[in-house]
Homo-oligomer: A and B are copies of this chain.
Amino acid sequence: MERALAVDLGSHKGERVYLQGWVHTIRKLGEVNFLIVRDRSGLAQVVMSSADMKPLAGLQSETVVRVEGEVVAAPSAPRGYELHNNTVTVISPVTEPLPFPINKKEITANQSVFLDHAVIGLRGPRERAVLNLSAGIMRGFRETLNQRGFTEIQTPKIVAAATESGANVFAIDYFGQTAYLAQSPQFYKQIMVGVFERVYEVGPVFRAEPHETIRHLNEYVSLDVEFGFIDDHFTVMALLTDLLRGILAHLAVAHVDDIKLLGARLPVVTDNVPHIHFHDAQQMLTDRFGVTDAIGEPDLSPQHERLLGQWAQNQFGSDYLFVTGYPMIKRPFYTHPDRARPEYSNSFDLLFRGTELVTGGQRLHLYPDYVAAAQARGYDLKPFETYFETFKYGMPPHGGFAIGLERFVMQLLELDNVRMATMFPRTLNRLTP
């Protein structure tokens, strides 16, 4: 006899099979007990007499069991089949009650209690679906890029110098020397454009930002892309649009159940995702939305982003809006300036439902420009030596972007906190589990 999965019961109609999984719920209706078993494929209904239930006496939900029985059609059961005439064997008993129930429609524990017991809480069907969608985003990301000639890279996370400004890095003792955790694979992905032209990386990044917000984590997964032979940041925006389409198409096909369970609204990527220049965005916020704190600022506030997101929705029916040309002063030194208006950059943010999801742009590609840009900001050139060597020896015009995986999940599912979009969040006050 082979193990059957909950989802496959229908293909074994009339046969005896066995399931393995966790006791998700037991419901008693008079003399009949409905045992709901959860395995990796989903939930299965097992109909048990009181005598059948004996092995489970005194045990709690999450007990791991083997249930052998006969597959019977039952319109009211999940996917139309259930098990009858069963034998239950306990594999791993659970004797203590759970810290909170995970078999209700939603887990009602408060967030801090939930996170303390995430090792159990993540077994909840909704929580599991969130993480499954997260896996689907990574898969859609890689498959779309693989089809477009990109090569996957894995770059070091322990680095000798801070990637960008030197602020907000975690320091490590590396055999008596101070090293740092990489804030992004930025330098390495650019270097690897010299090797493969088109690269991507999915990996952890570390930001020692000493504040707690609903949309920041101190360690998160960054989906990084970088590629060469571009015209300018519009080439990068076109790839990003294409990539988002690829990811969402993958989710729509491979994650139907997760999307349904979570009631997620998959966004539509319109034929031409609208874009607006930073300067024009500030002007419009002021003239049209009566905002008084935009013009003169080098960045947009979260409230500005929300207003712009609503505008994109109303005006273009788009969940996405590119804001281009952020002031150079707010962008890292390797950002390529707009040749026509050098105070603005060839960079962009992608707003998704009114919140920044992706940052990207064109980078400098000529060695003298790197030296000049670093010097103009008063940086010591020494830590950049090997990075700059890349540009001394021939680099094409190139650019790229980074998508924060958890932020993407959060906004896709309209979660109210990025902590609920990851398995074990790392924040200012949370280092466990």
Given contacts A393-B98, A423-B153, contact A122 B195 (CB under 8 A): yes
**A313 within 8 Å of B by Cβ?**
no
Complex alpha-carbon distance, A172 and B127, angstroms: 30
> Residues 401-433 of chain A: 1 if any B CB is under 8 Å from the residue's CB, otherwise 0?
000010000000000000000111010100111
A225 to chain B, nearest CB (A): 14
> Residues 93-124 of chain A: 1 if any B CB is under 8 Å from the residue's CB, otherwise 0?
11010100000000000000000110110110
Taken together, the copies of this chain in the complex come to 2
> Residues 145-172 of chain A: 1 if any B CB is under 8 Å from the residue's CB, otherwise 0?
0100101111111111000000000111
Cβ B219 vs Cβ A92 within 8 A:
no
Kindly list chain B residues whose C-beta atoms are within 8 Å of the C-beta of A365: 92
> Residues 28-48 of chain A: 1 if any B CB is under 8 Å from the residue's CB, otherwise 0?
000000000001110000000
Cβ B173 vs Cβ A210 within 8 A:
no
Cβ A431 vs Cβ B157 within 8 A:
no
Complex alpha-carbon distance, A72 and B229, angstroms: 25
Q: Which residue of B lies closest to A396 (CB)?
A: B64
Interface stretch, picked from A281-289, A327-335, A384-392, is: A384-392
Kindly list chain B residues whose C-beta atoms are within 8 Å of the C-beta of A215: none
A6 to chain B, nearest CB (A): 11
Interface stretch, picked from A49-57, A200-208, A241-249, is: A200-208
Interface stretch, picked from A80-88, A175-183, A271-279, A342-350, is: A175-183
Kindly list chain B residues whose C-beta atoms are within 8 Å of the C-beta of A122: 191-192, 194-195
**A135 within 8 Å of B by Cβ?**
yes
**A174 within 8 Å of B by Cβ?**
yes
Q: Which residue of B lies closest to A154 (CB)?
A: B221
**A197 within 8 Å of B by Cβ?**
yes
Cβ B221 vs Cβ A396 within 8 A:
no
Cβ A170 vs Cβ B170 within 8 A:
no
Cβ A219 vs Cβ B172 within 8 A:
no
**A62 within 8 Å of B by Cβ?**
yes
Given contacts A172-B171, A181-B172, A431-B179, contact A139 B119 (CB under 8 A): no
Given contacts A229-B3, A396-B91, contact A119 B390 (CB under 8 A): yes
A193 to chain B, nearest CB (A): 9
A60 to chain B, nearest CB (A): 8
Cβ A160 vs Cβ B221 within 8 A:
no
Cβ A172 vs Cβ B175 within 8 A:
no
Tell me which residues from 345 to 383 in chain A have a Cβ below 8 Å from any Cβ of chain B: 365-366
Kindly list chain B residues whose C-beta atoms are within 8 Å of the C-beta of A123: 194-195
Complex alpha-carbon distance, A117 and B128, angstroms: 45
A116 to chain B, nearest CB (A): 8
Q: Which residue of B lies closest to A127 (CB)?
A: B195
Kindly list chain B residues whose C-beta atoms are within 8 Å of the C-beta of A266: none
**A20 within 8 Å of B by Cβ?**
yes
Cβ A96 vs Cβ B396 within 8 A:
no
Kindly list chain B residues whose C-beta atoms are within 8 Å of the C-beta of A221: 154
Given contacts A203-B203, A219-B156, A426-B158, contact A196 B128 (CB under 8 A): yes
A414 to chain B, nearest CB (A): 22
**A238 within 8 Å of B by Cβ?**
no
Cβ B174 vs Cβ A171 within 8 A:
no
Cβ A135 vs Cβ B158 within 8 A:
no
A residues near B, CB below 8 A? Answer: 3, 20, 22-23, 39-41, 62-64, 91-94, 96, 98, 116-117, 119-120, 122-123, 127-128, 131-132, 134-135, 138-139, 142, 146, 149, 151-160, 170-175, 177, 179, 181, 188, 191-192, 194-198, 202-204, 206, 208, 210, 218-219, 221, 229, 365-366, 386-387, 389-390, 392-397, 405, 422-424, 426, 428, 431-433
6 interchain residue pairs of minimum CB distance = A386-B433, A40-B197, A62-B394, A135-B152, A160-B431, A62-B393
